[in-house]
Amino acid sequence: MTTSVVSPVTPLTENIAVRARGLTKVYGTGDAQVTALDHVDVEFGKGQFTAIMGPSGSGKSTLMHLLAGLDSATSGQAWIGNTEITTLNDKALTNLRRDRIGFVFQQFNLLPMLTAEQNIVLPVELGGGKVDKAWFNQLAEVLDIKQRLGHRPSEMSGGQQQRVAIARALLSKPDVVFADEPTGNLDARSGAQVLDFLRRSVKELGSTIIMVTHDPAAASFANRVILLADGHIAGEIANPTAEAVLAGLDAVSGIRPTENAASSVVSTGSTTGNAFGGRNA
Ligand code: ADP
């Protein structure tokens, strides 16, 4: 008689960095009630650069805040890797954000009295961790800030400051980096450089980045665009070009989700020819 060997089942979530199921957020009560997110199901792959886009008020910030554990859901579930974050208490969420999530904001949020290097290592050192020097050097290399490490923020351009902020977000090797309008404070040229560095971080360092932006040209640097409309996922675009994103945005604006906007806007563009400086740049 032979013993059957059951091979371990590969979890479906193996390549998924962030996931939401039925994620819903309702603000206010009664007449003032707003459903900002309405049963959103979405997945973000590891080692992918995804942009979240949609008209103003479509729920982009709300989705990002819920996925990053910065705000609580009304109902539904969200996971970072295999950790369900929608059931964590405040302390566990604080630890999860510190250990497993990186943030890049429109305002660079660097401390003015510290050098670039001190800013980059600060969160890891405050958390009691040890800086991985080889990884630090690799980040400085890929983000092209080696010559700026001894400079204070006031001695750097906006683009350089944002690259320092990206290095700070990546130093702890987070499972995912959330970037909220990372080029919102930059001119078109520095914005394009920062986006190119974000893309390189994904390609060369294996980072996972989820970026909220209103700018089709910025979104065209991502591997994939998720389109939100009225608190629903209204479509997605693989390998987006700025033109494909604009067309997708036009298609979802004003369309009710029951009309199945998704099927009409799923398209594949090309990542080439995505010169920054599109309609909203
Ligand atoms: P976006 O980032 O796409 O502009 P938001 O996620 O900020 O959209 O907002 C989605 C909807 O939720 C909007 O109708 C907005 O007015 C509403 N909303 C967002 N935050 C709050 C809040 N704190 N209180 C009440 N309504 C809110």
Give per-residue pLDDT as tens, 160-176: 999 999 999 999 999 99
In this predicted structure, the answer to whether residue 128 has a pLDDT above a threshold of 60 is yes
**Residue of 34, 38, 58 to test ligand 1 pocket, by largest number of atoms within 8 Å of CB:** 34
Ligand 1 site, CB within 6 A: 27-28, 34, 36, 54, 56-62
Sorted by where each begins, the domain ranges of the chain are 46-72+89-268
pLDDT of residue 273: 32
pTM, whole model, 2 decimals? 0.86
Nearest CA to ligand 1 atom 22: 27
Residue carrying structure tokens 């305002």 = 107
Tokens of 192: 């394009």
Residues 208, 201: contact at Cβ < 8 Å? no
pLDDT band at 13 (very low <50, low <70, confident <90, very high): low
Nearest CA to ligand 1 atom 15: 57
pLDDT of residue 253: 83
Cα 125 to ligand 1 centre (Å): 35
pLDDT band at 138 (very low <50, low <70, confident <90, very high): very high
The lowest-confidence range among 51-60, 176-185, 251-260 is: 251-260
**Per-residue pLDDT tens over the stretch 143-162:** 999 999 999 999 999 999 99
Tokens of 134: 């080889």
pLDDT band at 205 (very low <50, low <70, confident <90, very high): confident
60 closest CA partner among 37, 82, 42, 83 = 37
209 closest CA partner among 243, 185, 174, 241 = 174
- Superfamily classification of domain 46-72+89-268: P-loop containing nucleotide triphosphate hydrolases (3.40.50.300)
pLDDT of residue 14: 77
**Per-residue pLDDT tens over the stretch 219-228:** 999 999 999 9
pLDDT of residue 127: 87
**Per-residue pLDDT tens over the stretch 33-49:** 999 999 999 999 999 99
133-142 and 116-126 helices cross at what angle (nearest 10)?
A: 140
Tokens of 178: 């959330």
**Region 130-155 average pLDDT:** 95
Cα 36 to ligand 1 centre (Å): 6
pLDDT of residue 254: 63
Mean pLDDT of the chain: 87
Question: Edge-to-edge, what's the strand order for the sheet holding 232-238?
Answer: 101-104, 176-180, 209-212, 49-53, 224-229, 232-238, 267-268
Cα–Cα separations (whole angstroms), residue 134 to 120, 130, 138, 246: 14, 12, 6, 40
In this predicted structure, the answer to whether residue 139 has a pLDDT above a threshold of 60 is yes
